[in-house]
Amino acid sequence: MRAAEGAERRLRGSVHALFAFDVGAAVDLARARELVATPSASARLLHRHRAPPYFQFTDPPLRLAAEPSQLAVPGTVGTPMVEVSLYDFGGVTLRYSMSFEGELEDLVTLACELSDSELLRTEARQRIAALAEQIGAAIDRPAFAAAFEDYLIFHLEPAAGGRSGPELLRAAPQGLARVLRAERGPLSEAQVNDALQLTAAYGPMDLVLVDWNGSLVVDTEPADVVAVLELANLQLLEMRWLDTELDRALDTVYALVSRPASLGARLLPSIGREPLRQVARMQVDGALLFERVHNTLKLLGDPYLARVSRLAGQRFSLAEWNAAVLRKLDALESVYAKMHDHAAAVRMELLEWVIVLLIGVSILMPLLMGSGAGH
């Protein structure tokens, strides 16, 4: 009897360790496919449940199979498989997938090991740096950013005749919260409630728990949910990166505005148009990246995946990041408008002086010609 209970407590599934990076302003996915030697395919949502088939990625990311990792991850079964996803807006996600079998406490230990693994982070960074160099010809303004976002997704198979996702949640909330937050010790009731508050499910056996450090997915076919969570993690990185870039852009704009105009720029306005072009470029680059990131996947026809996406956005505070980015884009637009108005005013002032000069010449010319005729 005890052996049967122990078998029921054992969990089977996989763990996905995600690392999101940014490699440039944009990636030509068709050109990138030609440059890589590994097998590749365009990612698609599988829609295991009923949903319109046309709700897919707007520009499907390019999935690349990479060499398996040689790192030994304690608590996992077999060799970690590695997959890379390239997005047209310059984002890249590296996914390590590892099989797992054990008890819930073993999963807590594994979550802590993966969250603290500097070796895994270093290898992920090296892999993406090598890939960025390999597909450099397909990247617009390549720039491998040091910043990254990591995230863990724990997938458990619903046990036949055993606990479903909801039953597991009722039976072991403390353990599941520790898995999501990668905490070796017990958590307070408030922390447990906070970690487990964002949930979704499609079938009676299913469960999705979304937290800021990781998510738990109990499902027989988790591929779509994993893809949505992967994109949400990448969106967080891109919003962080864009927020930082806009801060730098505003600092640059402030320096441009504060710098005294040269005599040449005052006399010839075309000389002073370069700062205006710089501001316009910053504004356009930021707006394009913002739109590309948020238009990559539209889930209006898939309520279940849309809910998972909303939960991830809520936990990652994507709305707050979006508001900060939009506010800075508005500030850039305001500065551009003021600089444009100033340049237009300078041109009008110069035109007025030219008109005054021409009027003065037209008045003086007859007088000078009459004085010459009198002599």
pLDDT tens over the chain, length 375 residues: 343 344 446 888 999 999 999 998 889 988 998 888 776 666 555 555 554 454 456 678 888 888 888 887 777 777 888 999 999 888 999 999 999 989 999 999 999 999 988 989 999 999 999 999 999 999 988 888 778 999 999 999 886 555 789 999 999 999 999 999 999 999 999 999 999 999 999 989 999 999 999 999 999 889 889 989 999 999 999 888 888 888 887 887 777 666 655 444 544 444 445 666 666 777 777 777 777 777 766 665 678 888 999 999 999 998 898 888 888 888 877 776 766 666 667 667 777 777 888 887 788 777 777 665 555
Of the candidates 129, 130, 80, 149, the one whose C-alpha atom is nearest the C-alpha of residue 293 is: 149
Of the candidates 139, 132, 155, the one whose C-alpha atom is nearest the C-alpha of residue 18 is: 155
Strands (E), the chain: 11-22, 24-27, 40-42, 62-65, 77-86, 91-102, 139-142, 149-156, 199-200, 207-210, 214-218
CA 69 to chain centre: 24
Angle between helices 223-258 and 318-374 (to 10 degrees): 30
pTM comes to 0.81
**Cα–Cα dist 187/193, whole Å:** 10
Q: Which two tokens stand for residue 349?
A: 């002032």
Handedness of CA 104, 105, 107, 112 (dihedral sign): positive
Q: What is the CA radius of gyration of the chain?
A: 29
Of the candidates 129, 126, 141, 110, the one whose C-alpha atom is nearest the C-alpha of residue 17 is: 110
**Cα–Cα dist 179/191, whole Å:** 12
- The C-alpha torsion from 119 through 82 and 55 to 322, rounded to 10°, is 10
- Exposure string of 31-41, with b = 16+ CB inside 10 Å and e = fewer, is ebbeebeeebe
Cα separation values, 308 from 46, 271, 356, Å = 15, 52, 68
